[in-house]
Amino acid sequence: MTGSATPSSQWLPQTISLGIGLLVLLPLVGCTRSLPPTLHDPPRTATSTTAGPNQSMIHLARVESGVVVIDLGWWGAADALARGLDELSATPEEVVAVFLTHGHRDHVGAWRELRHVPFVLALAEVDLFLGQEGPEGILPRVARRIVPSDLPRPGEVEVVPFASDTAFVFGSDTVHAFNVPGHTPGSAAYLLGGTLFAGDAVAHSPTGGFQPAFAAYSDDTSQARASLHTLRARLARHELDYICTAHARCIAAGPEFWSEVLAF
């Protein structure tokens, strides 16, 4: 026999991981990028999508005191984060805060690259992010059993939790944080620069359009729907131009969106 075989210890974990991605995230294929121009406007803002079928989104924005980052992707997350920072002519040391919409593996991939930065997330999400509790959604739970998530341990990163809707002020810039539990216990949405980053509290499929969190990935779909109903009222006093899912699907914020997503 000519050539050499790849040791199973090398290819098997990669094959399993890829299989999980294709199985767990297949319904998200087709969520191609549809980003408002304000989301990718270097050197003020930059948006990167990580590799794989789900196109997890990393958003970076310059604020008065440095750079804030919303979510951290999955496959190729470190490279995607580096691309975003390059577009802002920024370094990791300039990042002043990371805002996580939730703790599922496809939104925290680059945490090691920013382990020196405070991580802002809802109080109810802290145990999931730190690996103290597992996800309850059917498909995330199966995926975790096959290949454990790479998550920080308690004390490895600084966590800044919020228990209710909160404004985080960075000089003249503000990130408004909203609790939207249901997809996970501490799912959150963040309003910055007229765009609401809704995480997976808002989902999108090629056939179903925008809708509340997908049932197979979520802890409590009834709670997820209720959160969106209350969120609309909580956003009423804010200027809101766009709403984006954590998988790079965005839409103008208007009555049409709310009618579509709240119809489920």
110-130 pLDDT tens trace: 999 999 999 999 999 999 999
Residue 30: the pLDDT is 36
Mean pLDDT of the chain: 88
pLDDT value of residue 31: 39
Taking the C-alpha atoms of residue 142 and residue 19, their distance in angstroms, rounded to an integer, is 12
Q: Is the pLDDT of residue 3 over 60?
A: no
CA–CA distances in Å: residue 238 to residues 176, 194, 199: 9, 8, 18
Looking at the whole model, is its pTM more than 0.75?
A: yes
Other beta carbons within 10 angstroms of residue 57's beta carbon come to: 29
- pLDDT at position 255 over 60: yes
CATH class of 35-261: alpha beta
pLDDT for position 148: 87
Q: Supply angle C-alpha 56, 33, 222, rounded to 5.
A: 60
- The 3-state DSSP composition of the chain as helix, strand, coil percent (nearest 5) reads 30, 25, 40
User: What stretch of H or E contains 190?
Assistant: strand 188-192
For residue 54, what pLDDT band results from cuts at 50, 70 and 90? low
Task: Spell out the domain ranges in the chain.
Answer: 35-261
